[in-house]
Structure 1
Amino acid sequence: MHGGKEFDILVAENDEILICLHQWGAHEHPTMADPRITPGNGLILYFRTENMEAIRQNAEKLGWPVEEEIHLNPNSTKREFSLRDPDGYYLTITAFHRYEG
């Protein structure tokens, strides 16, 4: 489970997630494992959506390479998939959910 000394979330008063912070190298995220990787090294952008499958299908139609197929994230317990944007930034698309921290 996320939390503890390796992960924290800054949440607004209305429970909107503002930013998630990971300790470098924690949880085996690919952009946080090798400091020689650029651009976007150390950064993962998360997008919560109710249309994850449609976004995944659109990425496939465009021939966009997917880093991780749709799977259940054991830390968040939410379904997600990941790809890189044209500049190389790591994007994770996750099933919409309210923060329950």
Structure 2
Amino acid sequence: MTLSDARRNQKNYVNCQVGASLTPNTVGCFAASGSVAIDGVSDASYTYDPITDDNINKRSIQGFSTAAQKKMAECENCPYNKMYEKFYDYYGQYDYANQIAL
């Protein structure tokens, strides 16, 4: 699996699930060591441990939910405002997904 393969197939890509997982799936992750070809530059060698902090889960339902008020309700010309407002009206909380998960 190359980086460009993963980018092209994001909607179908379900492997290399490591960050914050209690049961990590390293299938499809980059090899623990190798080289990366960079256009116009010589190959760069790398090593990393796919199970440790090198694969970090930077996004979470909690993060999306707690940031939603500012990003989807209180910004000027928010493209998602009308849709988000329906969820806010139903649940009555800006961070409704976070509250459900807690």
> Normalized against structure 2, the TM-score is what?
0.23
Name the structure where strand makes up a greater proportion of residues: 1
Structure index of larger Rg: 2
Higher relative CO (Cα under 8 Å, sequence separation at least 6) belongs to: 1
Larger fraction in helix:
2
